[in-house]
Structure 1
Amino acid sequence: MPAWRRIRSLRVRWLVATLAAMAVALVLAGLFLHSLFQDQVMRQHESALTLQLDQLTARLEFDASGQASIDPATLSDPRWGKPYSGLYWQLDEVGAAPESQGAQRSRSLWDDRLHPEPDSPADGQIHVHQGTGPRGVPLLLVERTVFSAETPARHWRLVVAGDLTEVGDASARFARVLTLSLLALGVLLALAALAQVAVGLAPLRALQRALTDLREGRSQRLQGAFPAEVQPLIDDFNGVLDRNAEVVERARTQAGNLAHALKTPLAVLDQAAAPSVTADPAALAALVHEQVTLARRHIDWHLKRARVAAAQRLPGHRTPLAPVVDGLLRVLARVHDARHLDLGADDMPADWAFAGEEQDLQEMLGNLMDNACLWARTRVHVAAQREGDRLVITVEDDGPGIAPEQRQAVLARGVRLDEATPGSGLGLAIVADLAALYEGSLSLDDAPSGGLRARISLPATR
């Protein structure tokens, strides 16, 4: 796999992020645990030295002059007498000359001495320091200042020191064990992360297989059991597939309809052009013009259907209803001025809008309103109402109306109930087809005035 594809891989990103976070967490946990262990060991070592200091303080003796001393024979711990054993004590008078320090000390110091910090702790208060002892060994020093009640002017500093080498060794051993343990834990967590990535991305592999089946024609939709987080994507994609299948099927139907509609004009023209047919030029020209006009009308109509089908679900289409209705009423009033029809409409809110193109709304309402004007005696009225996400528009006239058994027939293209009335018989069919393309509907019923009421339902903008 190329490097750029590895960088963009969801699996690689997931693993890198998980392993990096895990490594940082383990390192911080290791540092914290090691520090905690080291602090605990030092506290235990300090407690042990403080206990030794208390025991030495209890064995401290003063003479009449206030001179302090400790009898080594009274000490039970054998380390006090073993040279360089790692446990030492020293007794110095506070304020004495430096060369006199270390005159009283444990045999374990041998010919060396302790060098405590030059501070002045309060009486009975314990001070803790770190320093260097015999042979350069690091020591922890615990000291206390004491005095005799009989000679309060003389103060003595009692120091107990313990070797820190064992503490360092214990801390190092713990660090090695902790490092190995965290490394083992890190390996187990890395394996768990790999398993988690494999399990977490398994639905994507199933989706890839479903896409392969779809591409190779083994299925028409994405099929399979997917997690709840992925299922909305699958549903949307299947919706797109259904929409594309619908568009393809509609295109096939439109092509078939257009081919079928053009067969008759072409057959008539072919017959008129036959050598055996004798006709005067004027009749032939009229026939050709009539058939070409019919073919052009069919082509324009199918192109319009194709345009509407392509644009019906595009976002952003919004056509206010009231201006379209008012404009059509003004045009029809001039067209039918000689008949003195009463053309009117209800007041419509300015925010009522059709979710489609303006010219399509004009064509649908124009056909309905013009048809009503052709058949009306005195009055045509337009009303509208909002029903959820639909606009329901009604066009009523007071004409003769249409019998219920004939209403379905007049919605077919080219059907006319009265040949004396001008028109091509395509008006209501055009309205029905355009409404269907916008997932709307057209219905016909009786108007309260006795004429026809056309009711068209169209999608409304939010």
Structure 2
Amino acid sequence: MKRLSLKIRIFSAALLALLLFIPMIAYALERAYVGSLSHAMLERMRVQTLTLISEFEIIGNISNMPELIINGQFNLPESGLYGIITHGNTVIWKSLSSMNWPVPMVPSLPAVGEDQFIQIQQNSRTFFLHTYTAEFSNGEEFRTFNFHVFQDKRSFDAEVMHFRTTLWYWLGIISIILLTLLYFTLQTALRPIGRLVNEILRIEKGNANRITDQYPTELEKLKSNLNHLLNTEENQRQRYKNSLGDLAHSLKTPLAVLSGLPDLPAQGREPVEQINNIIQRQLKRAVAGTGSRWNQKTLIRPIAQKLCSAMSKVYRDKDIDFELNITKDIGFFGDETDLMEMLGNLVDNACKAAESKVIIEAKRTDSQLSICVADDGPGIPEDKRQLLIERGKRLDSYESGQGIGMAVVSDLVSAYEGRLLIDNGMLGGAVITMEFPLSK
């Protein structure tokens, strides 16, 4: 979850809200519709019951109902609307629609002058039942009659199902419209952040030095802070380089004077030379990697071509064949001098060991840059490979081509948080690879 983008998080939250909100809205609307439909059914059945009451009359001890009722559904067999009149537990009249219809048992009867509206089951079918109890006088006494109207619930359920289908259809369309609007709103709202990210990526790749685009108020402060950070880092790096340059210059003159003394013993010249080499090495190590890899991109191929041109002159007697497998756009995110120092030492060592061929390759993935130098020489013994890449080891006592230069390479690669790999392969000789991590 921590790696999900803001767009995905906001859109997922909105989608979750819709998934919870839409069913709740659908349930509430359906309940409201069913309640309204049930009330309309009650009112309609009350009218139908009153129709039966208005048609009913009692003469003496004989009750009378017309053959046909005003409401035509009472006159059609199996119409779904049934009328029943009872006196006590005796059915004294049935509508034509209920002639072949078994009369359900009514669980309870309302008091005189009152009605009830319930649902009952009959042969796996559900019916609405409206019952009204009334008293009629035959001239001598009052007699109680129950007027029952049964309505098949299938038509009611069909209306509810039609409403539910229509409701979900339109809610689905509304949800799609809302999600579409939300998506385009997010695209518009987050576009400045995308532009800012792209500018930062351009700085990382070395194609820009500062963030220059205009952004909304909320991002302008971030833009200013990032530019201030870049300015501070660059100034600090420049001061660091100047201080180290001054230090190197201050030490260089006394060492030159010391080494030029005519009466300096021979055993003293070697320590002086070692001190000079150590100073150069540590200065190079201190400066390496201090620059921001955001805004420096050094193309590798031109550097490699310069080195090959120089080495072909230095080792003219070997007539070395140089092969470059480097595309034009592959770059090293660091100082050009550092790249020249590292690659120059590796190519120089390869030329010293090579018989006739040296290969320089550079490959890049999303997370790593690899620079490889191979030769067709005798290779490096396996028992000495690890010593060459261990930090803190003194390398100046090794064979020709693996002296102080490899120490500088090892320190520079470590300063750029990379690693140095030594193996034999390709042409049969040594293969030395520098691997540098790339920001994602």
Query: 3-state DSSP class of the match of 1:154?
Result: strand
Bigger radius of gyration, 1 or 2? 1
**Displacement of 1:68 after TM fit?**
4.6
**One-letter amino acid matched to 2:34:** Q
> Residue 47 of structure 2 aligns with which residue?
51
**Displacement of 1:234 after TM fit?**
2.8
Query: How far apart are the structure 2 equivalents of 1:180 and 1:191?
Result: 17
Superposition RMSD on alpha carbons, in Å? 3.4
Query: 3-state DSSP class of the match of 1:8?
Result: coil
Say whether residues 1:38 and 2:34 are aligned partners.
yes
Say whether residues 1:207 and 2:201 are aligned partners.
no
CA 1:82–1:196 in structure 2 vs 1: closer, same or farther (change >3 Å)? Answer: same
Query: How far apart are the structure 2 equivalents of 1:212 and 1:192?
Result: 29
| 1:117-156 paired onto structure 2 within 5 Å | 117-132=106-121, 137-148=125-136, 154-156=143-145
Check whether the contact 2:48–2:71 (CA below 8 A) recurs between aligned residues: no
**Displacement of 1:132 after TM fit?**
4.0
**One-letter amino acid matched to 1:91:** I
> Residue 65 of structure 2 aligns with which residue?
70
Q: TM-score, normalised by structure 2?
A: 0.53
**One-letter amino acid matched to 2:227:** N
**One-letter amino acid matched to 1:165:** R
> Residue 176 of structure 2 aligns with which residue?
187
CA 1:152–1:219 in structure 2 vs 1: closer, same or farther (change >3 Å)? Answer: farther
| 1:17-416 paired onto structure 2 within 5 Å | 17-65=13-61, 68-73=63-68, 75-94=69-88, 96=89, 101-132=90-121, 137-148=125-136, 154-259=143-248, 261-262=250-251, 273-274=261-262
**One-letter amino acid matched to 2:158:** D
> Residue 420 of structure 1 aligns with which residue?
none
Q: Select between 171-180 and 222-231 the one with higher mean Cα deviation.
A: 222-231
- 1:285-331 per-residue CA deviation (whole Å, 9 max, x = no partner) reads xxxxxxxxxxxxxx9xxxxxx9xxx9xxxxxxxxxxxxxxxxxxxxx
Query: How far apart are the structure 1 equivalents of 2:129 and 2:160?
Result: 19
CA 1:226–1:116 in structure 2 vs 1: closer, same or farther (change >3 Å)? Answer: farther
Identical columns (%):
21
Query: 3-state DSSP class of the match of 2:91?
Result: coil
CA 1:209–1:90 in structure 2 vs 1: closer, same or farther (change >3 Å)? Answer: same
Query: 3-state DSSP class of the match of 1:225?
Result: coil
Query: 3-state DSSP class of the match of 2:162?
Result: helix
Q: Select between 8-17 and 180-189 the one with higher mean Cα deviation.
A: 8-17
Check whether the contact 1:102–1:113 (CA below 8 A) recurs between aligned residues: no
Count residues in correspondence: 269
- 1:148-185 per-residue CA deviation (whole Å, 9 max, x = no partner) reads 35566532111112222221111122222222222222
**Displacement of 1:50 after TM fit?**
0.8
Check whether the contact 2:133–2:144 (CA below 8 A) recurs between aligned residues: yes
Check whether the contact 2:85–2:91 (CA below 8 A) recurs between aligned residues: yes
Check whether the contact 2:136–2:145 (CA below 8 A) recurs between aligned residues: no
- 1:224-282 per-residue CA deviation (whole Å, 9 max, x = no partner) reads 223333333333322322221121122123224434555665576567x356x9xxxxx
Query: 3-state DSSP class of the match of 1:138?
Result: strand
Query: How far apart are the structure 1 equivalents of 2:37 and 2:141?
Result: 37
Check whether the contact 1:84–1:109 (CA below 8 A) recurs between aligned residues: yes
Check whether the contact 1:68–1:156 (CA below 8 A) recurs between aligned residues: no
Check whether the contact 1:222–1:238 (CA below 8 A) recurs between aligned residues: yes
Give structure 2 stretches of 5+ with no counterpart: 265-278, 280-285, 291-440
Q: TM-score, normalised by structure 1?
A: 0.51
- 1:131-153 per-residue CA deviation (whole Å, 9 max, x = no partner) reads 246x7643211111111355665
Query: How far apart are the structure 2 equivalents of 1:218 and 1:204?
Result: 19
**Displacement of 1:47 after TM fit?**
1.1
